[in-house]
Structure 1
Amino acid sequence: MHIQALFAHNDTAALHRLVAAHPLASLVATGIDGGLQAHLLPLLLLPGATAARPARLQGHVARSHPLRQEVADGSTVLALFQGPNAYISPRWYVNGQRSARVAPSWNYVAAQARGRLHWVDGDAAWMLAHLAALTATQEQHRPEPWSLDMAAPDYVENAARHLAGFEIELSALEGKRFLSQQRTEADRHSLVAHLQREPSGMARDVARLIVP
């Protein structure tokens, strides 16, 4: 991801919140044949407790999944997390209407994590704890949250046996907030007003992120 200085977002706590709020990642890895693979997978972020135990991402796939079959332990992978995004119409730029020197754009927030993938295979306790934690992150704000212990134990244990877990020890976590920072204050006020009227809920989410 190309990150210009103006749009760089390096607040670790804020990046952790972005990853937690948008856990479905595009995980890019190199297979044994040298070809690139991209997989959409929900990943659980575990913030690092100490320098010796850095932040890591946990995930899982079926044992027959290409990631398990073709990506070796210790491989470097890249996970891309996409936050809110919205199309920006040239008509919304106040100053642009005067000069006509404008083009369509896109506002977005994203984070990319890089690290080495290590397989966790055959550890039933790890898998059950991982599945329970991943589920809890999505259910915790619901009025009646569902938890893994509500499923039949034999069903859960059988499902877990068909899964392979992995952890990615992060060597880098970078973010980008492309939110019209290069535009004038008048333009940003106009963008917020127009995005708030868009039918897309995501557009309204972007409006809340723009700093007029």
Structure 2
Amino acid sequence: MYQPPHFREDDLGAQHALIRAHPLGLLVTAGPGGLMANPIPFLIDGQASERGTLRAHLARANPHWRELAQVAECLVVFQGPQGYVTPSWYATKRETGKVVPTWNYATVHARGRPRVIEDAAWLRRQIADLTDLREAGRPEPWAVDDAPRAFTDAQLKGIVGIEIPVAQIVGKWKVSQNRPAADRDGVVAGFRAAGDGDGMAEEMAALVQARSGR
């Protein structure tokens, strides 16, 4: 990934936080079957290895897991908040007119050697942990144990687990750090005024504001 120095985010805690907030990662391999990519929800265990370990599961019918068993490395791309930045938000537009549009975003790329797991206990823990994480904020959280055990046991036979100890992880926060302070203020105000239904505009505004002092 292209990383100009002012857009780099090397803090492991910030990288893991983005993964937890935006867990649907794009799993990419280049194996015997050629390039493959699938969106998969991941968990990140920050204590399992030096840079963290990613855990996920795929449908057994998905041929991607067989590719994972034959590659030395895979890539997982996590996309955080993103959004178009109009020059109309910049103070510089009014001062000189020398501005162009751009796109702000935050992303994390993680690489590692995948391990395919078919152990039923591991798989049950995986789906329970993922479910608990996503259900935690609901008024009446659903848990895997709410379903009949025989039913979930049968469902587990249809999935395969993967575990990826992260060997390399890089982050890129392209959030207007290269603009003058007045332009950054305009970007923050612009995203907040634009709003959206999923809170991504507010999340981007917060990132721009948080990194304005760096």
Q: 1:166 to 1:73 in 2, by over 3 A?
A: farther
Q: Distance in 2 between matches of 1:154 and 1:179?
A: 49
Superposition TM-score, scaled by structure 1 size: 0.93
**1:99-130, Cα deviation, whole Å (9 max, x unpaired):** 22211111111111110011112x11110011
Q: Which residue pairs with 2:125 in the alignment?
A: 129
Deviation at 1:49, TM superposition (A): 4.5
**Identity among equivalent pairs (%):** 37
Q: Tell me if structure 1 keeps the 8 A contact 2:31–2:70.
A: no
Alignment length (residue pairs): 208
Q: Which residue pairs with 1:18 in the alignment?
A: 18
Superposition TM-score, scaled by structure 2 size: 0.92
Q: Distance in 1 between matches of 2:72 and 2:59?
A: 18
Return the match for 1:97 from 94, 97, 112.
Answer: 94
Q: Distance in 2 between matches of 1:161 and 1:184?
A: 55
Where in structure 2 are the equivalents of 1:68-83 lying within 5 Å? 68-83=65-80
Q: 1:69 to 1:108 in 2, by over 3 A?
A: same
Flag structure 1 segments of 5+ consecutive residues without an equivalent. Answer: none
Flag structure 2 segments of 5+ consecutive residues without an equivalent. Answer: none
Where in structure 2 are the equivalents of 1:188-207 lying within 5 Å? 188-200=184-196, 201-207=199-205
Task: Say yes or no: does 1:143 pair with 2:142.
Answer: no
Deviation at 1:17, TM superposition (A): 1.1
Return the match for 1:178 from 174, 179, 184.
Answer: 174
Letter of the structure 2 residue corresponding to residue 83 of structure 1: G
Q: Distance in 1 between matches of 2:29 and 2:204?
A: 30
Q: Which residue pairs with 2:151 in the alignment?
A: 155
Q: Tell me if structure 2 keeps the 8 A contact 1:195–1:207.
A: yes
